[in-house]
Amino acid sequence: MYLKRIALTAITCIAMLLGGFSRLQAEEIDAGRNTGLPNLGDSTSITPAAERRLGDRIARELYRDPDYLDDAVIGDYVQSIWLPLMTAARARGELPPELDAQYAWKVLLGRDRSVNAFALPGAYFGVHLGLVGVVSSKDELAAVLAHELSHVTQRHIARLITRQNEQTPWLIGAMILGAMAASKNPGGANAVIVGGQAVAAQTQLNFSRDMEREADRVGFGIAGEAGFAPQGFVSMFEKLQQSNRLNDAGGFPYLRSHPLSTERMADMQARIPSQAAATHPAPAGEHALIAARARVLSNPSVDALRHWVQEAEPAQLARQPAAQQAGALYAATLAASRLRSFDQAEAVGRRLRSAAGADALVARQVRLLLAEIALARGKAALALVDLGPQGPNRSRAELFLAVQAQLALGHADGASQSLQTWVADNPADAQAWQWLARSAAAQGRTVASIRAEAEVNIAQLDYAAALARLKAAQDMARNDPKAGDHFEASIVDTRARQVEQLLREQALER
User: Which residues here bind Zn ion, judged by CB under 5 A?
Assistant: 212, 215, 258
Tell me the closest approach of the beta carbon of residue 67 to Zn ion, in angstroms. Answer: 22
Which residue number, 77 or 207, has a Cβ lying nearer to Zn ion? 207
Cβ-based nearer residue to Zn ion, 11 or 380: 11
Residue 376 in contact with residue 337, Cβ under 8 Å?
Answer: yes
β-strands 117-120, 106-110 pairing: unpaired
Name which of 138, 145, 131, 26 is nearest 82 in CA terms. 145
CB 59 within 8 A of CB 108: yes
Residues with Cβ within 8 Å of residue 245, at least 6 apart in sequence: none
Give min distance, CB of 154 to Zn ion, in A: 10
Q: Nearest approach, Cβ of 11 to Zn ion (angstroms)?
A: 6
CB of 215 or CB of 371, closer to Zn ion = 215
Return d(Cα 416, Cα 427) in angstroms, integer: 15
> Residue 109 — φ and ψ, nearest 5°?
-95, 140
The nearer residue to Zn ion, 212 or 372, going by C-beta atoms, is 212
Smallest separation (angstroms) from Zn ion to the CB of 145: 12
- Confirm if 106 and 89 have CB atoms less than 8 A apart: no
Give yes or no for a contact between 186 and 253, defined as CB atoms under 8 angstroms apart.
Answer: no
Residue 313 gets which letter from DSSP? S
What is the identity of the amino acid at 458? I
Question: How far is the C-alpha of 290 from the C-alpha of 33, rounded, in Å?
Answer: 42
**Dist CA 23 CA 15 (whole Å):** 10
CB of 210 to Zn ion, least distance (A): 11
Q: Which is nearer to Zn ion, 19 or 349 (CB)?
A: 19
Range 467-475, long-range pairs (CB < 8 A, 24+ positions): 467/496, 467/499, 467/500, 467/503, 470/495, 470/496, 470/499, 471/496, 473/447
Measured between its terminal Cα atoms, the distance across the chain in Å is: 33
Contacts by residues 350-359 (CB-CB < 8 Å, ≥ 24 positions apart): 351/312, 352/326, 355/325, 355/326, 355/329, 356/326, 357/285, 359/283, 359/285, 359/286
Instruction: Report, in Å, the least distance between residue 382 CB and Zn ion.
Output: 46
Q: Is 125 helix (H, G, I), strand (E, B) or coil?
A: strand
CA–CA distance from 275 to each of 142, 278, 323, 470 (Å)?
15, 6, 26, 53
Q: Report in angstroms how near the CB of residue 150 gets to Zn ion at its nearest.
A: 8
Cβ 156 to Zn ion shortest distance, Å? 8
Least distance (Å) between residue 215 CB and Zn ion: 5
- CB of residue 72 to Zn ion, shortest distance in Å: 28
Q: 212 with 96: CB under 8 angstroms?
A: no
Nearer to Zn ion, 215 or 326 (CB): 215
CB of 268 to Zn ion, least distance (A): 13
Which is closer to Zn ion, CB of 112 or CB of 212? Answer: 212
Q: Which is nearer to Zn ion, 144 or 447 (CB)?
A: 144
Nearest residue to Zn ion, scored by beta-carbon proximity: 258
Closer by beta carbon to Zn ion, 150 or else 279? 150
435 vs 329: CA distance, rounded Å = 30
Q: Judged by CB, which is closer to Zn ion: 82, or 463?
A: 82
| Residue closer to Zn ion, measured from CB, 99 or 255 | 255
Buried b (16+ CB within 10 A) or exposed e, 242-260: ebbeeeeeebbbbbbbbeb
